[in-house]
Structure 1
Amino acid sequence: MGHHRAHVSQGHERGGGQTHEEHSGSHGHGGHDGHRGHDGHAEVFRRLFWVSLVLAVPVVALSPMFADLLGYTVPRFPGASWVPPVLGSVVYAYGGRPFLTGAVQEARARKPGMMLLVALAITVAFAASWATTLGLTATLDFWWELALLVVIMLLGHWLEMRALGAASGALDALAALLPDTAERLTDEGSEQVPLDALRADDVVLVRAGGRVPADGVVVDGSAHVDESMISGESRPLRRAAGDRVVGGTVATDSTLRVRVTAVGSDTALAGIQKLVADAQASGSRAQALADRAAAFLFWFALVAGVLTFGVWAALGDMPDAVERTVTVLVIACPHALGLAIPLVIAISTERAARAGVLVKSRLALERMRTVDTVLFDKTGTLTSGRLTLVGRAAVAGLDDDELLALAAAVEADSEHPVARAVVAAHAGDTPAATDFRSLPGRGVRAVVGGREVHVGGPALLAELGLEVPSELGEAVTHGQQNAASVLHVVRDGAVVGVLAVADAVRPESRAAVDALHAHGVRVAMVTGDAQHVAQAVAHELGIDEVFAEVLPADKDAKVVELRERGRRVAMAGDGVNDAPALTRADVGIAIGAGTDVAIESAGVVLASDDPRGVVSVIVLSKASYRKMWQNLVWAAGYNLIAVPLAAGVLAWAGFVLSPAVGAVMMSASTVVVALNAQLLRRVDLDPGTVTGRAADSPSR
C-alpha cells in the first residue's frame, strides 16, 4: 500500500525515477504445536472413548445404584454382580490412563490442575467401589459413575482435539483440492506439468471450472473466481487482467491466463496454515484463567473433602463421613471446566479460519471485543489500491471518446499507474503516437496525427503558461472534491479536456464503516494523500476522523495519539509500510493478505481484502467472550454449589445431595458446556452478511 500515494495526492506529477502424554499433563494450551499433533491426539481419544463406552454400557446397566435411580430391576444371571467391578476396573486402567499419567506429571511439577482433579475423582470412585464390592461398605457403589466419568471426559477431550485440528484441517482440505498438474503455456503451445515443476513467472492456463494451481496475477481473460475457502466471501468475485488470484480458488465461468508469482511454501495457503498453527500455540488470558480455576478447585475439593470427613466423623457418623467425603471428591471433578475455555477457543479458531479471519494471537482476538476505534489505512484497504478513470470532460467540438482516445495514444508508451488507468479505460482503437517524451514531475508528451499533445497535471499547465477554460472549471472542481487527480489534455497549446483519475473506493467500505458504527466503534482513517483527497473519501464513507498527509513512518504516531486519548485502537492496513502502526495498536489487523499472508506485525490477518472482515473479527471476539464466561460461570458455579450440598451443609434441613444425583448433575454440566460452545458454529462471519448490507451496496 502506499505505492500510489504520492501520485494521487499531487496530481499527475512524476518525479525521476506436544505429544499425547504432554497434552495429558496439561489441559491448557501448552503443547498445541500444530494440527498434525491435534489429529493424533483426536485419534487416541477417539479410540479410548469408543472402547470405554462399549465397556461402560454393561457397567452402568448392571449397577444397582443406577437401577435404583431410574427405577428398574437389575438383570440377574450367573456372575452378574462381578460385571461392574471387572469391566469398571478395565475402564479405570485403560480409559483413565491419560488422566492418571497427567496427574503424575502435575504432581511432580507441583502444579495441580485438571488432570489431578480427574485422577482424584476416578481413583476415589475406584477405591470406594471395590470397598463396596468386597463388603467393606454397603453404600459406595460408584462403578457406574466411574465408567461415565471416564467416558464423558474422554468424549470432551476428543471433541476438543478434533476442534483444535479442524481449523488447520479445513485448510489442509483446501490444499488437497489443488490440482495435481498445471497447464503451463510455452512457445510451442502448452504442456501438463506437476505442481512442483512450476516456477515464478511461468504462465499457466486455468480453464473454466478449473482450479488455480498457484498464486499469481491474471495476464489475460476475465472470470468469476470462487474464493470462499480462502476469504470467506460466499460470492464468486470478478478477476481480470492485473488482478491477483490465489492457488486453490476456482475460475467458475471462463478461462484465465495467470502468471505465477509464488509456489510451495511462499503461497497464501502455506502462510495461512502457518498462521493457524501459530494461533493454536499462542497464549490466552482466558485459558490461563481456566487453568488457575482448575488449580483452585483442586484445593477446594481437597479441603472440602477433609472438612467433610472431619465434621461427620466428629459427629460420630463414620459411614456417612466416608460416603459424603467420597461423594464430594467424586463430584468435585470439574470436567465441565476442562472444556469451558479450550473448546470455545478451538471452535472460534476454526470458525475464523473458515471465514478467512486468521488469528495469529488469541490475545488479539480476545482484545478485539474491547476496541472502540478502528484506524484504517486508506489506499488498498478502503480503496482498491488501483487507479481508475472516474470522469472526463471535453471542450465544445471534441467528443469525450475522442478526448480519451487522444490521451490514451499519448500515455500508451508510459508505465506510470496513471497512464495504465487511462489506457485501460479506452476500449476502442488507439491512434498511433510518435515522438513520445516523458516530462518528469509534469506529465507526458507525444505527436498524434501530426499534432502535439500533452497530458499532465497542474505543473504542466504552469510550465506551458496555460489556464483551464471556464467550461471545464466545474469538471475540475468536481474531480478534486471527489478525491480524484485531474489530468489536463493539451493539443497544440490549448487545453481541450480534463480526465479525473482516482483510487476508487471499494463498494464494501461503506458497509464496513456503517457496521462498525452499529457496534459503537469509531472509525478513523490515515493516509499520505492530500487533505482534500482524504476528506472526500471520508465524507463519502462517513468516517469520523481523518489523518492526512502522513508519511508511512509516522503512522504509528497517530496510533499513539489515539491511545493517549484513552481509545482502544485496532489498526487495519497492509502490514508492510503499516507494520509499525500495526504493532503499536491494541490489535493489528492485516487486510488483503494474499501472498504476503505471513505478516509478523499483525495479530489478526484477513485473507481477503474486504474491510468488512474487521466487523467479522469483532463479532467473533464478542461471541467467543460470551461463551467463555458462560461456560466458566456454569462449570465453576456448579462445583461451588454442588460440593457443599454433597458435604451435607443442608443435612439439618433434611437435604443431602446423593452420590447418584450429584453424579448425574456433574455429567449434565459437561454436556451443557459442550453444547453451549458448539453454538459458536452458528455465528455468521460471512463478510457479505455479517454487516447486514449486500456486498454491492451503493456508496453514499
Structure 2
Amino acid sequence: MAQRPLSAPAPATAGNGPQPMDHSQMDHGKMDHSPTGGHDHGAMIADFLRRFWVCLALSVPVVAGSMMFQNLVGHQFTFPYSTPLLLGLATAIYLYGGWPFLSGTVRELRSRQPGMMTLVAVAISVAYGYSVAVTLGWLRGMDLFLELATLIDIMLLGHYLEMKSVAGASHALELLVQLLPADAHRKEGDTIRDVKVTALAVGDVVLVRPGERIPTDGEVTDGSSAVNESMLTGESVPVQKATGGKVIAGAVNGEGALSIRVTHQGADSYLSKVVKMVGEAQNTKSQTQTLADRAAGWLTAVSLAGGLGTLAAWLWLGKGAAFAIERMVTVMVTACPHALGVAIPLVVAISTAISARKGLLIRNRTAFEEARKITAMVFDKTGTLTEGAFGVTRVKVLATGLDEAALLGMTAALEQQSQHPIAQGIVREAHKRGLALPSVQDFQSLTGKGVAATVTGRPVVVASPGYLQEKNIALPADAVSNGTETVVFVLLDGQLAGYVALADRIRTDSKEAVQRLQAQGIKVYMATGDNQQVADAVAKELGLDGVYAQVLPDQKVKIVQDLQAQGQFVAMTGDGVNDAPALAQANVGIAVGSGTDIAAETADIILVNSKPTDITNLVEFGKATYGKMMQNLFWATGYNVIALPLAAGILYPHFVLSPAIGAVLMSASTVIVALNAQLLRRSLK
C-alpha cells in the first residue's frame, strides 16, 4: 500500500418498522408513514378540527355571558337560566374539547412520563373545577369559564395546525408509497392479461406501455425506452433502458414499450426498501432528539412545580383563590413543552423524506447529523470518482503460441464470473469481438488480488500488479503507458502470458464535488486498488489532498484509523461489501451503488447514485438539518425563559398574562417551530 501527498504534507464504494403516531400523547417521534397510518393520521387531524369548530360555537355564549367580557364591552347581557346554561355549555366544552388532553394524561401517567397532555389536563381541570365551585356557591370569587373555553379552543386549533405541518412533512414519503401502480399487464404466451401487481411472481414478464409506471423491479427482455427515475433516485435525466437493463418499480416509462421480467417483488422491491428505511430513520432518535426529550421532561417538571409554587405564592400574598388559580393555570399552559416535542421530529421527517427523494437513504440519524463534523473524506475511485465503465484500450500477448483473441477470450472467461467494472469491461470487449469464451472449472476469487480457474486443463490467473509483486514476477516495462489506464495481468501455467489495459473516465461532476468539499475545509483523499501511476493521474486531475494506491479492502480500515488518529472526523465511501470493515470504522460510513442495490448493512447512509456531488449534498444537507434543529431548540427553550415569569405574574400589577393569551403564545411558539422546520425544504433543494 502506498500513499503519496499531492498538495498537502499530510495524507474513498459503498427492527422494527415505524410505530403508529399517537396524537393523544403527541409523541412526534413515533410517526407511521404507512398508507394505513396516513389514513389514521388524517382522521386525527379531522377530529381535532371538528372539536375546534364545535367548541368555538359553544364558546360564543360562554364568552358573551362572562362578567369579564361584559365589563370589557360595557354592556350587560341577560337571558333566562343564564347560570345553568353557561355551566352546561362550559361542561360540554370541557368534556368534548378537553377529551384528547384528559385521555392523553391517563396514558402519560400509566407510562410514568407526564408531559404536555398532563399539563393541559391539570390546567383545564383546575379552571373548570374552581369555576363550578364558584357557580354553585361553594366558593366566593369569579368563575374562569371564559378562560376555560378560550384555552381549549386555542389548544385544539394549535394542535390541528401542528398536525397539519407533520402531515406535510411525511407527504413526500406517502408519495413514494403511491408510486406503485395497482395493475400490471402480464404476458401469458401470445396474450396479455391485466392482473394485480400483488399477483406477480419472480420470473413473470410484464408489458409496460409508453407513459405508464413500471409495476415491479425487473430486467428488460425486449424493447428500448428512456425511463424517468427522478422520484426514486434523484436522477433528473431520463435513463435509456434496453435489453438487459435494470428497472425500478414506480419509475415512469418514456416513449417506447418495454417487456420486463420480474426480479424482485413485494417487500424485496427497491421502493419497499426505501419506504422501510426512511420510516425507520424517521423513527430513530438521534442525540439531538434525546436532548430535546430530556429538556421537555425537565420543562414538564418545572411547569408542574412552577404552577403549584405560583398558586402557593399568590395565596400567601393574599391575592385570593381566583387570581392565584388563574396564575397557576397560565403557568402550566404557557410552559407546555409542545414546541420542544415537535422541534426535532418535524425536522427529521422533512429532511429524511426529501433526502430519500434525492437519492440519499439515511440509516443512521446521528451519522447524518454529524456529517457537519466531517474533516476528511475518503473516496473509492472506480465507479465513484470515475464512471466505472471500463473499455479495453490494449491487449498485449507475451507468451508464444498465444494470439490476442485467445488471450482476451481466456481472460473474459474468468472475468465473466465477476461484477467488478473492470471485469465487465473485458467481457464486453470479448462479446464485441464475437469471441467464443472457453469453459472454466475450479473458479476461485483471490480477495483484492484477482481471480483464478482452470481453462482447458491449464491453470489461469487474472490478477493485479500487486499479485505479480507478491509472486516476484517482474512487471513488463510497457505495462502502463499513461496515467489513465488500469492493467490486469494474465498468468498461464504460473507464467506471465500477457496483459489487458483498460481506461476509466473521470465523472464530469467529480471535480466540482471535490472543490465544494475542499471549500468547506474538508480534506479529500482517494483509496484505490489501482497502481500508483493511475491513482496519481486521477488525483492530480481532481486536485485531491492525498491518494492511497494498490490498497486491498482490509487495508482501508488502517487508512481510516490513521486519519482518525490524526484527529480527523472521517467519512468513508465504499461498496458496502468488500469495504464493510472500513465503513464500520469510519465516523460516517457511506455506501454508494446502483439504485437496485441498497443492502449495505454496515453503512450509515446509502447513495442511490454513485455521483460524487451526491456526497457533497449529503454534507450540506446534514449541516442544514442540524442548523434547523438548533434554531428550533433555541426558540422552544428561549420562549419559555421569557414567558414563564410573565405567566407567573412577575410584572403584576403593570402586566398580567391571561390563560388565553398564554395559550396563544404557547401555540404560536409551536407553529413558529413548525414553519421554521418547513423552511428546511429551501435548503434541501
Both proteins in one fold, TM over 0.5 = yes
Kindly tell me: are residues 120 and 600 of structure 1, through their superposed partners in 2, closer, same or farther at Cα, counting changes over 3 Å? farther
Deviations along 1:590-645, one digit per CA (max 9) or x if unpaired, are 22353332432122222333332223322332222222222222222222211211
Matched, 1:633 2:637: no
Counterpart Cα distance in 2 of 1:502 and 1:217: 27
> Structure 1 residues 345, 603: CA separation in 2 closer, same or farther (over 3 Å shift)?
same
CA drift of 1:340 comes to 1.6
Corresponding residue to 1:143 among 148, 157, 160: 148
Residues 130-155 of structure 1: CA deviation (Å, up to 9, x unaligned):
45655743263313332224313531
650 and 154 in structure 1: CA distance in 2 versus 1, 3 angstrom threshold:
closer
Q: CA deviation at 1:211?
A: 3.3
Distance in 2 (alpha carbons) for counterparts of 1:437 and 1:326: 84
Displacement of 1:530 after TM fit? 1.6
Contact 1:340 1:674 in 2 (8 A): yes
> Equivalent residue for 1:307?
309
CA contact (8 A) 1:55 1:87 kept: no
Q: Write out per-residue CA displacement over residues 352-386 of structure 1, whole angstroms, 9 at most, x where no aligned residue.
A: 22223222222222222222222222222223333
Write out per-residue CA displacement over residues 462-518 of structure 1, whole angstroms, 9 at most, x where no aligned residue: xxx9999xxxx8x9633xx12444999xxxxxxxxx995223333233332233223
Letter in 2 for 1:323: E
2:176 paired residue number: 171
Paired AA for residue 547 in structure 1: Y
Give the direction of change, closer, same or farther, for the CA distance of 1:530–1:216 in structure 2 (3 Å limit): farther
Aligned 8 A contact 1:388 1:421 in 2: yes
The answer on whether the counterparts of 1:92 and 1:150 sit within 8 Å (CA) in structure 2 is: no
Paired residue secondary structure (1:596): coil
Residue 230 of structure 1 deviates from its aligned partner by: 0.7
Task: Check 1:74–1:629 CA distance in 2 against 1; reply closer, same or farther (3 A cut).
Answer: farther
d(CA) in 1 for partners of 2:353, 2:242 = 31
* Aligned counterparts, 1:189-228, within 5 A: 195=197, 198-200=200-202, 205-218=207-220, 222-228=224-230
Distance in 1, matches of 2:169 and 2:658, equals 36
240, 251, 254: which one pairs with 1:252?
254
The residue number in structure 1 matching 2:235 is 233
Asked if the contact 2:333–2:666 (Cα under 8 Å) also holds between the matched residues in 1, the reply is no
**How do residues 68-107 of structure 1 correspond to structure 2 at under 5 angstroms?**
86-107=88-109
Q: Sequence identity, in percent?
A: 42
2:572 counterpart residue number: 571
Structure 1 residue 42 displacement after superposition? 1.0
| Cα separation, 2, equivalents of 1:83 and 1:548 | 85
Determine whether 1:502 maps to 2:512: no
- Is the Cα–Cα contact under 8 Å of residues 211 and 254 in structure 2 kept in the other structure? yes
- Compute the displacement of 1:275 (Å): 0.9
Amino acid at match of 2:680: L
| SS in structure 2 at match of 1:234 | coil
Note closer, same or farther for the CA distance 1:657–1:609 as it changes in structure 2 (3 Å cut).
Answer: same
- 1:77-135 deviation line (CA, Å, top 9, x unaligned): 66777776545533433343343233223334433323322322333343345456557
Partner residue, 1:52: 51
The equivalent of 2:366 in structure 1 is 363
Which amino acid in structure 1 is aligned with residue 308 of structure 2?
V
Aligned residues: 621
For structure 1, list consecutive stretches of 5 or more residues without a partner in the other structure.
Answer: 1-17, 395-405, 444-454, 489-497, 686-700
Whole-Å Cα distance in 1 between the matches of residues 107 and 464 of structure 2?
Answer: 73
1:70 and 1:674 map into 2 onto residues whose CA distance is 34
Residue 322 (str. 1) matches residue 331 (str. 2)? no
Deviation at 1:302, TM superposition (A): 2.2
Q: Which amino acid letter does the alignment assign opposite residue 665 of structure 2?
A: M
Amino acid at match of 1:289: L
Work out whether residues 480 and 487 of structure 2, in 8 Å CA contact, stay in contact via their aligned partners in 1. no
| Corresponding position of 1:644 | 645
Aligned partner of 1:450 in structure 2 is none
- Does structure 1 retain, via aligned residues, the 8 Å contact 2:229–2:235? yes
Q: Is the 8 A contact 2:409 2:437 kept in 1?
A: no
- Counterparts of 1:123-522 in structure 2, within 5 Å, are 123-131=125-133, 136-138=140-142, 140=144, 141-155=146-160, 158-159=163-164, 162-163=167-168, 165-175=170-180, 177=181, 179-183=183-187, 195=197, 198-200=200-202, 205-218=207-220, 222-240=224-242, 243-318=245-320, 319-389=322-392, 411=408, 414-415=412-413, 416=415, 421=425, 477-478=481-482, 481-485=483-487, 501-522=502-523
CA distance in 1, matches of 2:515, 2:281: 29
**Contact 1:407–1:422 (8 Å) recurs in 2:** no
- 1:619 corresponds to which residue? 620
* Aligned twin of 1:675: 675
SS in 1 for 2:509: helix
Aligned pair in 2 of structure 1 residues 646, 191: CA closer, same or farther (>3 Å)?
Answer: closer
C-alpha spacing 1:660/1:571, structure 2 compared with 1 (3 Å): same
Are the aligned partners of 1:69 and 1:660 in contact in 2 as well (CA < 8 Å)?
no
Contact preservation (8 Å) 1:38, 1:164: no
Q: What runs of 5+ residues in structure 2 fail to find an aligned partner?
A: 1-17, 397-402, 417-421, 444-449, 453-461, 469-473, 491-498
State the AA in 2 paired with 1:617: L
The farther-off stretch of 130-139 and 222-231 is: 130-139
- SS at 1:595 equivalent: coil
* Letter paired with 1:146: L
Pair 157,435 (structure 1): closer, same or farther in 2 beyond 3 Å: closer
Q: CA offsets per residue over residues 227-250 of structure 1, 9 Å max, x none?
A: 111112222133445543222212
1:410-448 CA distance string (max 9 Å, x none):
8579454768647857999x6x8799899x9999xxxxx
Q: 1:73 to 1:358 in 2, by over 3 A?
A: farther
Question: Do the aligned partners of residues 476 and 607 (structure 1) sit closer, same or farther apart at CA in structure 2, a change above 3 Å counting?
Answer: closer
8 Å CA contact 2:285, 2:365 repeated in 1:
yes
Question: By how many angstroms is 1:584 displaced?
Answer: 1.8
Distance 1:499 1:130 in 2: 92
- Report SS of the residue matched to 1:570: strand
Deviation per CA, 1:199-222, whole angstroms, max 9, x where unpaired? Answer: 555565544434333323446654
Aligned residue number for residue 688 of structure 1: none
Contact 1:36 1:165 in 2 (8 A): no
Q: Which residue of 2 aligns with 1:11?
A: none
State the Cα RMSD in Å.
Answer: 4.3
Report if aligned partners of 1:485, 1:501 keep a CA contact under 8 Å in 2. yes
Task: Decide whether the 8 Å contact of 1:211 with 1:250 is kept in 2.
Answer: yes
Q: Say if 1:590 and 1:604, in contact at 8 Å, map to a contact too.
A: yes
Aligned-residue offset at 1:531: 1.9
User: Which residue number in structure 1 is paired with residue 119 of structure 2?
Assistant: 117
Contact kept? 2:311, 2:325, Cα under 8 Å: yes
Distance 2:308 2:250 in 1: 60
Counterpart amino acid of residue 680 in structure 1:
L
Name the CA shift for 1:675/1:650 in 2 (closer, same or farther; >3 Å).
same
Deviation at 1:163, TM superposition (A): 4.7
- Residue in 2 that maps onto 1:664: 664
Residues 1:664 and 1:211: Cα distance change in structure 2 (over 3 Å): closer
| Match of residue 584 from structure 2 | 583
